[in-house]
A and B are shown apart, each in its own frame.
Chain A
Amino acid sequence: MKTKRNFTAVLLSTVLAISLSSCDTNSNKATVNPTISTGIYVLNQGKFQKSNASLTYYNLLDSVVTSDIFTTKNNRGLGDTGQDMLKYGSKIYIAVYESSLIEVMNATTGISEKSIPMLNSSGQPSSPRSLASYNGKIFISLYDGHVAQLDTTTLLVEKTVAVGSNPEGIVVSNNKIYVANSGGMAAKADSTISVIDPTTFTVTNKIKVVIDPIVLKADAYGNVYVISFGNYGSIPYTLQCIQTASTPEQVNVIPGLHPYNMTINGDDLYMYSYSYDANWSVINKSYAIYDVRTEKIVNSNFIASTAIAKTPYSIDVNPVTKDIYIGETDYSNTGKMYVFGQNGTLKFTFPTGVNPTKIIFLTK
């Protein structure tokens, strides 16, 4: 009898010992906390609903990469799906789409000054998409079909105005705000650009463009360039130019170009495009430059098709060095930033988070 009792006691204690000895170890890795100087912030979108949006900081002076600098500086994550970012004055504004907030961060310290939740009157998320700035205000396109006005001094959302459905790109040109109504969440995509007067903050008119307009960029000559994604069938990706000076605004399709994304620096509009083969592999990657003043393509392959290994996801130009920064993704794993000189040679690369989507250059 005694032996049996001892046996059961041993059994019980063994089980308990095994269970209590193995425990979680939070790997607290030492993180580098750098000072921010001449460098680059990359906004990594992260994966949708994985709450892993992040900021990568690349120091141009010593080439050190700090991944997730927002968490390093603020001890908390950036949020879910970082969609757009812009710098105005000393602050950086980030539209965090699925967390539905605007993060206002000090550009030089990386410390958050305010986290502004974007909710509609019923307390539902209004889902910020893109940002534009003008006269001390930040304009935010909201996926619930509105544009909000944020004051950069008080950091309060002052007004909202209703536009078309699922607005995406937003730019200011010729003292007017242009926002692309994509209708991306609807059965039938939208095909309009809403024009807003910034002083009255009302919609003055709507411009008809090719179906599913997404990307908007403004040049220095009062033109707004639009990339419409088409209908993924008979209507391809289409590049258009809106002349804001004419009334009503005139829209011209720029033929023979089907870019996915673009950026404008000076007179140069940089763009990239690609397509899919039968195995859903990315093919025909092409990188072109279009001159906005002469209205001609000046370079149809400023880098080779194979220069970026996977899929290009972002394109930005350093205003000082004129280097071209192209972000690469495969939608699941961490990405990479490729930096090319104006002559098309690859200067350097650095790792980014998942889906690098936008860059801000900090120059002293």
Chain B
Amino acid sequence: MSKINLLVFVFLFSSLGHILADSDLTDSLRTHRLSEVNVNGQSQKTTLAALPIQIFSEKEIESLNSTNLSDIAKHFAGVTVKDYGGIGGLKTVSLRGLGASQTGVSYDGVIMSDVQTGQMDLGRFSIENISEISLSNGQPNDIFQSARMFASSGVLSFSTKMPVYNGNNTLTGRLTVKTGSFGLIEPTLFICKNFSPKLAISLSADGLKATGKYLYLSNINSQGNNTVEKTRINSDIQSLRTEMNAIYHLDSLEFISFKANQYYSERGLPGPDILYSTYSTDRLLDKDYFAQVHYENKKSTHFQYQLFAKYNSTFMQYTEVSPKYSQLSENKLVESYKQNEYYLSSTLQYHPTNNLFISSSVDGWYNNLFSHDNNLFSKDTAPIRYTGLGNIAVKYLNERLSTCANLLYTATRETTQTGAAAPNRNKLSPTVSLSYQLVESKELRLRAFYKNIFRLPTFSDEYYHDLGYVNLLPETTNQYDIGLVYRELKIPFISELELSLDAYYNQIKDKITVIYGMPYSSIRNIGSVDIKAIDANLRLAVPINRNSFIHFRVNYTYQRAQDLTSGSENYGEQIPYTPFHSGSTSLSYQYKEIECGYNILYSGKRWDGQNIDANLLESYIEHSLFCRIASRQFKLMGEIINLFNSQYQVIKNYPMPGRNYRITLSMEINKHYKNKKKLHE
């Protein structure tokens, strides 16, 4: 009964919002209200932000020697990417030491998630039609967003290129082909057409095929001074990612957009490098698709409204062939999972005065999971979860101060087909933030935020056979941050300088942790982690002359992340895979149509468990460079990744590729097409 009530409430709320947004149309078309994000340039977005945000524009994304979202994420401060190596290798992103399951991933305003594993495989998204990637600690600063955007410890957002009306109904687009090491071939097509000033449709398709083979040095002894050359096998991937976007403007400030996305991938999972063995047969098949609708109305000065509706289907199949499975057909283990999600979100923002914004959002969604394992006789639990979120946010802005507070309410209900279901959960989660301009004439601001949020146990945590435990509590985080941001446009010889420094203290309570045992392990909320860290970011833009430019960026993170689980053998130790020091830097030089650049990724030493030498992972530096030449129609880029052939591992025994190459060629498509109406004029 309560689930139906939730849906009804969301619908009623949506209609109310729509009515209010349309009711006040006086300044609809001409007035541009000073909203904190409606100013030029991303620099303003990052400097004025009370909650730290880092942004890479489309141009910067092209210059990071990256082919997927997780590689790009490595260049943000405070991020730890667990990279299992190779083109199709799984990569997860953890923000500020909180763990990958606490990271929210937002695609065009909608949070995407995997309720079974709690982690998104970021390789699922093509970056070919991405216009911007940003990382927000805590949550994104704009309060005009769905409630779910307030429900993670941090959000990695990316947005697609939305077709912009260019005055005539032309078909534009781009064809790109990428090739290089690992037998890589990746053709991409993006086309976009305006059918009228109101309607535009775009299509993109990204095909990828790679053998994924590379040579690496395998350590034969723990000191690392006895190595043997091995080939990474079972690392091939073939995938296809397609997407369609349509946008219809009912008015200049009112639109409805539709997106349909499909993902298919079949890849090998090479697994860890096992000493003296080369056997690897694990394979992963993914078939996902989703469709989302977005309605936004900003016509009124005082009310802004938006609605999201989405359906997502995820299918994943894992197979492993081994003589150990002598009882299974073809000695093959097959595990498959099918998830569905139905999501609805409604946000209303009230803007009574120039300084005040109040937003309220209601989100509701439904998840289910079907599992099949050919090596298990037990009945499928088939869990279902209903989640409802309600959020109220208030933001006050003036020339020097911006403060914001929001309170999020979360309620979940679960049922199962077989076995016990997890108990109902209800939680309130507050966040406060502020940004204050310290000196009147200078763009020097002090910022601070506190956020309390949690992540729910995944269906795996609760129901995975033998291991799952339904009475898990949510894993809670508290984040405290204080920082300084400085932006200067008047330094001689430098057109723009931006510097930010944040010191933060994060706590993880009731951390969902596996407890090993015999004959099987289980999972409980026993963990506790304390993180004390600093993030520093510097960006410079230096014009040399009218034709040439230098861009420089460097970020550095120091992180002391301690395991404070009471009674733990590892009490006080640095948690696994978290280096004390890490950073990245990019330098690029542009002259007319040519741009060349250099990128460096650095990670200090870390451990893969107990802090002893046997578990130590050495620090590493990866250097990469690129050169790109662009004309009006063509673009050619060459890249050398891992220039000095550094033999390193991010995850113990998962070797990263040595020096490798990539060449990209793209061609712009401009087809001229006369509008029928104009012909008759």
Contacts and interface: CB of A to CB of B under 8 A. Distances in A.
A7 B545 CA distance: 13
A333 interface: yes
A77 B587 contact: no
B384 interface: no
Interface in B225-276: 225-226, 271-276
User: Which range holds the interface residue count of chain A?
Assistant: 35 or more
Contact of B272 (A50, A229, A311): A50
B316 to A, nearest CB: 21
B673 to A, nearest CB: 45
Interface in A1-53: 1, 3-5, 7-8, 11-12, 15, 18-19, 22-24, 26-29, 47, 49-52
Given A50-B272, A166-B324, A333-B569, A26 B277 contact: no
Nearest to A281: B515
A305 B322 CA distance: 40
Given A4-B544, A276-B517, A19 B600 contact: yes
A130 interface: no
Given A99-B277, A187-B375, A124 B323 contact: yes
Contacts of B585: 15, 18-19
Interface in B612-648: 612-614, 616, 618-621, 623
Contacts of A18: 585
B493 A24 contact: no
A51 B275 contact: yes
B287 interface: no
B222 A71 contact: yes
B326 A144 contact: yes
Chain A residues touching B, majority SS: loop
Contacts of B131: none
A194 interface: no
B106 interface: no
B454 interface: no
B652 interface: yes
B274 A98 contact: yes
Interface string B187-229: 0000000000000000000000000000000011111111000
A3 B545 CA distance: 12
B664 interface: no
Interface stretch (B6-14, B300-308, B519-527): B519-527
Given A11-B550, A125-B277, A77 B323 contact: no
Given A12-B587, A26-B225, A280-B522, A126 B323 contact: yes
Interface residues of B, number: 65
B610 A333 contact: yes
B327 interface: yes
B598 interface: yes
Nearest to A53: B275
Nearest to A260: B518
Contacts of B222: 52, 68, 71, 77
A47 B515 CA distance: 14
A320 interface: no
Contacts of B653: 49-51
A217 to B, nearest CB: 18
B411 to A, nearest CB: 26
A330 B569 contact: yes
Nearest to A78: B275
Contact of A8 (B516, B519, B542): B542
Contact of B275 (A4, A77, A117, A120): A77
A153 interface: no
Nearest to B321: A124
B469 to A, nearest CB: 8
B276 to A, nearest CB: 4
Q: Which of A77, A117, A276 has the most CB of B within 10 A?
A: A77
B602 A3 contact: no
Contact of B544 (A8, A15, A185, A229): A8
B277 A15 contact: no
Contacts of B377: 187-188
Interface in B278-326: 279, 322-326
Given A50-B608, A50-B652, 4 more contacts: A19-B600, A166-B326, A276-B522, A332-B570
16 contacts: A1-B545, A4-B493, A8-B544, A11-B587, A15-B598, A19-B600, A23-B621, A77-B220, A98-B277, A100-B279, A120-B323, A165-B327, A232-B519, A276-B517, A333-B609, A334-B610
By Cβ-Cβ distance, the 4 closest A-B pairs, closest first, are A144-B323, A331-B516, A186-B327, A51-B275
